[in-house]
Structure 1
Amino acid sequence: MPSSFSSQMLSSGGLGLAAGLSLIVAIGVQNAFVLRQGIRQEHVGAVVAVCAVSDAVLITAGIAGLGAVVEQADGVLRWLTWFGAAFLIGYGLLAVRRALRPSAGLEAERAATTTSVAAAVSTALALTWLNPHVYLDTVVLLGSIGNGEGPSGRWWFAGGAVLASLLWFTILGYGARLLAGFMSRPSSWRILDGLVALVMLTLGVLLLVRG
């Protein structure tokens, strides 16, 4: 019995970890925002916590069966798509403005655009909960895979997926400060904000087209 329990814990938990990382480790709206906050070294802990906890809630909901409900909620997803697209395009345009604005470097950029923790948390929440892709990845896809692991294995799968999210956002947020030297040049910030704008605007337009 203990051997069987350990085997299921490792196999289901490992599958959840791998599946979670495969979906999370990609250039997306959450990652772009966490990376930028990490480089700026501004409210990193709060932003990482919001993203990781949000993912944990969504993954748990998917494992609990909400994924099947979401797949049928076409109206809800449609409205979420429109709101998400509008938010992403708006945030992308702000990134375009930052990319085009002259900057004196990292310290000047941080001083000129310092945000409160409430603003950072609000943005992280919006980028997570207004993004339909998050629901499809965490609730629907991970929920479907996890429920295939059986009554007990699915929760080990959920644990592995939640751990993947926590590890990734922590590494991304706190590891980004290693780029601070490179980001001391104004041109580097322009490149970063240009990439952020490209990701946000592309995803926003895709949502509009598919919506």
Structure 2
Amino acid sequence: MYLFTACCVLCGEKVKANISLCEPCLQDLPRISCCCYRCGLPLKNQLNDTLCGQCQQSLPPIDYLISSLHYAYPVGHLVSQLKFQHHLVHAKIFAQLLLTTLQTHSLYHSIPLPDIIIPVPLHKKRLRQRGFNQALEIARPISETLDIPISTGLIRRAKYTQAQSLLNAVERRKNLRHSFALIKPISAGHIVLIDDVVTTGTTVYELANLLKKQGVKTVGVWAVARATHHYK
């Protein structure tokens, strides 16, 4: 069962739809209209089957990334409330937004559904501190709606790392190097990683590299939000 509030989480107005956002606030969200199909970087005046300049130079280890929103206000505000103030209703909002995006995205209809969903894992210390994994909370309604199993027992976060939000791109790569470990063999051929926000992509790239070394053929990412620029 997932939480629902009859008032908009942004403006406090009463809501009719089962999403805890009023229609004006829902329409005002910074949605991504087109993006690089490989890394999900938002693009201007392009098609969704376009590669960004960086992916044209060097393809990332993920095969595709689908996200709903630009990582801009009020998305960052809602993400922070979910992660640090335990506003779990936001996880359901994010799941519903992502489901809407998936069902209208060209990639979603051109490739098979994944065999399993893996929410990006937290280190056990951070999980104890927070009390929940926000990626898992977002993944649950998606798993139920699409009838795709969630796996939290294949990969663990083996190294406790500094928060990625405090680091630049180079520091993020160093911070996450060898930070994930396999728990048991993987037989799935197509896996989707679910996360709240993708900024540099370092986290999902590290996971994708690990999965592909184990023989996984296709690794996709479904994220609520994507940063607008590649971080330096």
Bigger strand fraction: 2
Same fold (TM over 0.5): no
Normalising by the residue count of structure 2, what TM-score does the alignment of the two structures yield? Answer: 0.25
Normalising by the residue count of structure 1, what TM-score does the alignment of the two structures yield? Answer: 0.27
Bigger helix fraction: 1
Flag the structure with larger Rg: 1
